[in-house]
């Protein structure tokens, strides 16, 4: 079966660092993606980890540990505009290619 867990809500203040954890159980696991979605907007791609370790893109970093079925998204120097929902999406490879399973999302609120 498949399961996916991430916190439903996280609150932090401007300038702080926040880590959003994601644990998953996905058959045929291939990689882990993160998406950001502002209220009323479409999800937009943030990062993808195929290998263990940390990937850094500006203020955002994403980490994957395949042996622990665990990943996290790290947001540094938080800004008000980072208030959004963040989805982790483990991917699985099957006969038709790669498909992603989206979690319920973590709603991040950044306070002044």
* Residue 16 or 41 having the CB closest to other proteins: 41
Residues 6+ apart with CB under 8 A from 82: 75, 108, 110
Q: How far is the CB of 93 from other proteins (least distance, A)?
A: 7
Q: Interface residues with other proteins (CB under 8 A)? A: 8, 30-31, 33, 41-45, 48, 50, 87, 91, 93, 96-105
Cα-based angle 48, 52, 53 (whole degrees, multiple of 5): 85
Q: How far is the CB of 27 from other proteins (least distance, A)?
A: 13
Radius of gyration in angstroms for the set of CA atoms belonging to the chain, rounded to a whole number: 14
Q: How far is the CB of 40 from other proteins (least distance, A)?
A: 9
d(CA 91, CA 30): 5
* Residue 2 or 79 having the CB closest to other proteins: 2
């Amino acid at each position: 079966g498949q399961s996916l867990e991430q916190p439903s809500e996280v609150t932090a203040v401007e300038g702080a660092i926040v880590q959003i954890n994601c644990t998953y159980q996905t058959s045929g696991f291939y990689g882990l993606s993160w998406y950001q979605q502002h209220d009323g907007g479409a999800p937009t791609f943030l990062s993808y980890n195929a290998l263990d370790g940390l990937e850094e893109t500006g203020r955002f970093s994403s980490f994957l540990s395949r042996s622990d079925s665990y990943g996290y998204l790290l947001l540094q120097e938080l800004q008000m505009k980072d208030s959004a929902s963040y989805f982790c999406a483990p991917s699985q490879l099957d006969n038709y290619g790669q498909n992603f399973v989206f979690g319920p999302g973590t709603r991040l609120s950044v306070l002044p």
